[in-house]
Chains A and B, each alone.
Chain A
Amino acid sequence: MASEPVIRLVDITKTYTTGEVQVHALMDVNLTVEPGEMVAIMGPSGSGKSTLMNMLGCLDRPTSGSYRFEGREVAKLGKPELSALRLAAFGFVFQGFQLIARTSALENVALPLVYADVPSGERKRRAKEALARVGLAGREDHTPAQLSGGQQQRVAIARALVNNPRLILADEPTGALDTRTSQEVLGLLQALHKSGITIVIVTHEPDIAAYAERRLVVRDGRILSDEKQTPRDALADLAALPPEKAS
């Protein structure tokens, strides 16, 4: 199993038909991501990077081509199998946090475990652990409205972590955050990466992509470039930021 890449896309094509116009969101995309990699997918809006992200996260199925996740062909799986796979193997961090309103941080984090039929006691314990891991111990009972943007995104990361995923997909994880909290969130993702989880970040900001060790550029539904890079250290950059003004 260790030798299998986490992701292997072969000639993936996604075509949307709107009226009589066919839009090729992805064309002949080939991509392999090895276990433990941290990859940034970059591109302007409309480039197909969101479609690629949905494809990787098994939220969408390709029109043609092959997608092997950990060696298993998933491109032709039915909806229930895809749901089960997302539940078991993936963690999602969405742009705009996507937490359930008026629901405590603990319950938000525990949500995937509810659907995985984890017993209530263990659910609570694991959700608490995940919250502690993102530095939110003691905030279990806070609702999203009682948390700052950075804290909400950390709750979302805790939710992505709680089911021990092999792959975390983060869609513009810093899109709604200021520089300082962005650095914090990126630091968190880098720490998870160091613990061995494969991470894919989708962003349109080169500054964010700089924290990944591999950078893909997508344009017009094709992968334009794919290069390794030395990632910046988010925590070091955070320390170098001018101190926050007391408000």
Chain B
Amino acid sequence: MSAVASILPLAFGALKRNRMRSLLTSLGVIIGVGAIIVTVAAGEGSKAVLQAQLATLGTNLLIVLPGSSTSGGARGGPGTGKPLTHEDLLAILAGASAARYAAPTDRTVVQVVLDDQNWLTTVYGSTPDFFAIREWSLAQGRFFNASEADSGAKVCVLGKTVATQLLGNGDPIGQIVRLKAMPCEVVGVLKSKGQSSQGQDQDDIVVMPWVTFKSRMMSQDRIHVGSILVSAVSPEEISHAQNQVTGILRQQHRLADAQQDDFTVRNLADLVAAQEKVADTQSQMLLYVAAVSLLVGGIGIMNIMLVSVTERTREIGIRLAIGASETKVLLQFLIEAVVLSAMGGLVGIALGLGASLVLARSMGWPFVLTPLWIGIASGISMAIGVIFGFYPARKAARMDPIDALRFE
């Protein structure tokens, strides 16, 4: 260790004599390490955003949508085919053991009126399970209960945005709002969820019992269900629940084995996982680019070290002649290379963190500082110095002092 300590100043001295060259040589490592830091930070940041969005959707969420019809080769969207029914919902509730909750969901856009205020919003008709599935919690009041849901009581729960638009900071509980001329008592206000991944305001919502919704908002029968939300008992059970729901609905719809599903079961976790995979793939591509940059940086260091060794042949001759051991000369040049690459690494980490911060700010990601990757990046930059510095250092150490002293 004392040998390294006494040689360290020699290495720094040599690098200081060629400041500009040292900086340019480190550039490859600076860029490579910086790219690694930015890539990892961006990957982690976007993943954190995706996960936060998944959490606001409701974890373990499956959405059952009615099938589409095909007429003359043109396929309609969901709802144009065989609709889902209340029977389907009951069958899922009774038969799908991997599903904890299932709720019918219909919605329409309605003008909500309170005194002299009004607001256009989306009204959902569902059951109390809806709140559990979408993981809504209350800011004020209560959810409507099962008996209210079954009896078609004229009660509703407001989203934060709707409550604010109608009442400002006033207390909405017990207020009677009118929707399509139906007076409806506000029993609760939902806690804010903020924007969805598509940028929609998730709090711009009114939820009322499904029975009430069907009869008073849509003037429809209570047989057909727009869509069914299902929540699996755990994240591991999502695909199991998906299979169960599919099986039950096929039976309900009396589909023969050869027939295709006339409904769709969408797994939102899968969608998010797919998005994450895309993000991961992009991160990986960028990491490869960073790796290539590091390789180029390493070759640059080797190149400059070889030039340096040749330039300083006589100096090396002097050192060897006065009694420097081969090990110490090797160590000196190796340290020079490691210092070059490690300094590049440090600058790269600093620049990378700065760029990640700017990127996180502009993209609205959380700034995720990854100590592990900072450690890895510093390790890599040191390793580059050792790997690419070894050959030039060995070349210096193996010189014959007599020839080296005569070198012009």
User: A residues within 8 Å of B by Cβ?
Assistant: 54, 57, 59-60, 79-80, 83-88, 90, 92, 94, 98-103, 107, 111-112, 114-117, 120, 159, 163
- B297 contacts A by Cβ under 8 Å: no
Chain B, 1-36, CB within 8 A of any chain A CB: 2-3, 6-7, 10, 13, 17
Whether A59 lies near B321 (C-beta < 8 A) is: yes
Q: Between A and B, how many residue pairs show CB distances below 8 Å?
A: 64
With A59-B402, A98-B405, A100-B315 given, is the CB distance from A117 to B322 under 8 Å? no
Whether B325 lies near A83 (C-beta < 8 A) is: yes
- B319 contacts A by Cβ under 8 Å: yes
For the complex, what is the distance from the CA of A159 to the CA of B122, rounded to whole Å? 90
For the complex, what is the distance from the CA of A211 to the CA of B358, rounded to whole Å? 75
- B320 contacts A by Cβ under 8 Å: yes
Q: List 22 A-B contacts (CB under 8 A).
A: A54-B402, A57-B321, A59-B321, A80-B325, A80-B327, A83-B323, A84-B323, A84-B325, A85-B323, A87-B323, A88-B323, A94-B318, A98-B317, A98-B318, A98-B405, A111-B318, A114-B7, A115-B319, A115-B322, A115-B328, A117-B2, A159-B322
Q: For B129, what are the chain A residues with a Cβ–Cβ distance below 8 Å?
A: none
- Which size class do B's interface residues fall under? 20 to 34
Whether B324 lies near A87 (C-beta < 8 A) is: yes
User: For residue A95, which residue of chain B has the nearest CB?
Assistant: B405
Which residue, B321, B322, B405, has most C-beta atoms of chain A within 10 A?
B322
Q: For B405, what are the chain A residues with a Cβ–Cβ distance below 8 Å?
A: 94, 98
For the complex, what is the distance from the CA of A92 to the CA of B319, rounded to whole Å? 11
Whether B323 lies near A120 (C-beta < 8 A) is: no
Chain B, 311-370, CB within 8 A of any chain A CB: 314-315, 317-328
Q: For A99, what are the chain B residues with a Cβ–Cβ distance below 8 Å?
A: 318
Q: For A83, what are the chain B residues with a Cβ–Cβ distance below 8 Å?
A: 320, 323-326
- B172 contacts A by Cβ under 8 Å: no
With A80-B325, A84-B323 given, is the CB distance from A60 to B315 under 8 Å? no
User: For residue A80, which residue of chain B has the nearest CB?
Assistant: B325
Shortest beta-carbon distance from B311 to chain A in Å: 10
For the complex, what is the distance from the CA of A59 to the CA of B401, rounded to whole Å? 7
Q: Is the interface of B mostly helix, strand, loop or mixed?
A: helix
Whether B321 lies near A100 (C-beta < 8 A) is: no
Q: Taking A80-B327, A163-B323 as given, write out 5 further A-B residue pairs in contact, using a Cβ cutoff of 8 Å, ordered by the A residue number.
A: A84-B323, A87-B322, A87-B323, A115-B319, A115-B323
With A60-B402, A79-B326 given, is the CB distance from A86 to B321 under 8 Å? yes
Which residue, A59, A60, A84, has most C-beta atoms of chain B within 10 A?
A59
For the complex, what is the distance from the CA of A94 to the CA of B402, rounded to whole Å? 11
Whether B323 lies near A102 (C-beta < 8 A) is: no
Shortest beta-carbon distance from B329 to chain A in Å: 9
With A54-B402, A59-B401 given, is the CB distance from A86 to B3 under 8 Å? no
What 0/1 readout, one digit per residue, does chain B (44-86) give for beta carbons within 8 Å of chain A? Answer: 0000000000000000000000000000000000000000000
Which of B318, B320, B323, B402 interacts with A100 by CB under 8 Å? B318
